[in-house]
Amino acid sequence: MANLTPEKIKAGLAAKLGGADVLDRITAEHDLDLFVMYSSINGVYGYIGQLFADVAPDFVDHIVDFGFGEIYARPGLQPAERQIAAVAALTVIGNQWSLRNHIEIGLRAGMSPQQIVAVIMQTIPYAGFPKAAEALLLARQIFDEHTIPSLAEEPS
C-alpha cells in the first residue's frame, strides 16, 4: 500500500473497469458466476495484470478471453464442477500458485472443504504422494485463513 501512487491507483481501477466490461460482454448470456470467480482471483492477489504489466501487458487479456471467456463459458459443467477439474489438474502438475487460486474460487463457487480434500486425495494415484501432500497442506492453510474448523473426525 505504501508504494501506491495516484497514477497506479488510476491505472489499476481503469484495468479493473476494462476487465469488468469485457467480462460483462462475454458473459451476457451466462450465469454471472464467471465474474465472481475472476473477482476472487483479484481478491487473493490484487489485479493480476499488475504482475505482468512490464513484461507482457496483454497476458491477462488472453487469460480472460480464453480461460474465463471461451473455456469457462462452455456448457456442461457448473462453476463448482469446473473447480473440481481445476483443483485435480493443478494438484497433479504441482502448480501451487494456481492451485491456491482455484481452491479459493472453489470455496466461493460452493465446493465444501470436504470436497476439496476428497478431490486432492483422488489425485494420489496420478500425482503421487508428495504433490498430494503439498496440495493438502495448501488447502489446510487456506481453510485456516477462512477459519474453517478441522476436518479431522473426533476420536471415539
- Domain co-membership, 1 together with 69: yes
Give the residue, 23 or 45, on which the prediction is more confident. Answer: 23
Is residue 140 scored above 90 in pLDDT? yes
Domain membership of residue 113 (yes or no) is: yes
List pLDDT tens digits, range 4-42.
566 766 665 565 566 666 666 666 776 655 455 444 445
Is residue 103 scored above 80 in pLDDT? yes
pLDDT at 149: 83
Domain membership of residue 64 (yes or no) is: yes
Domain that holds residue 21: 1-75
Does residue 112 come out as left (phi exceeding 0), alpha (psi in the -120 to 50 range) or beta?
A: beta
Domain membership of residue 115 (yes or no) is: yes
Kindly report the number of other CB atoms within 10 A of residue 84's CB atom: 20
Structural domain total, the chain: 2
User: At 13, phi and psi to the nearest 5?
Assistant: -70, -40
> Of the candidates 57, 75, 93, which is a domain's last residue?
75
- Domain co-membership, 61 together with 92: no
Domain membership of residue 38 (yes or no) is: yes
Give the residue, 24 or 147, on which the prediction is more confident. Answer: 147
This prediction's pTM: 0.64
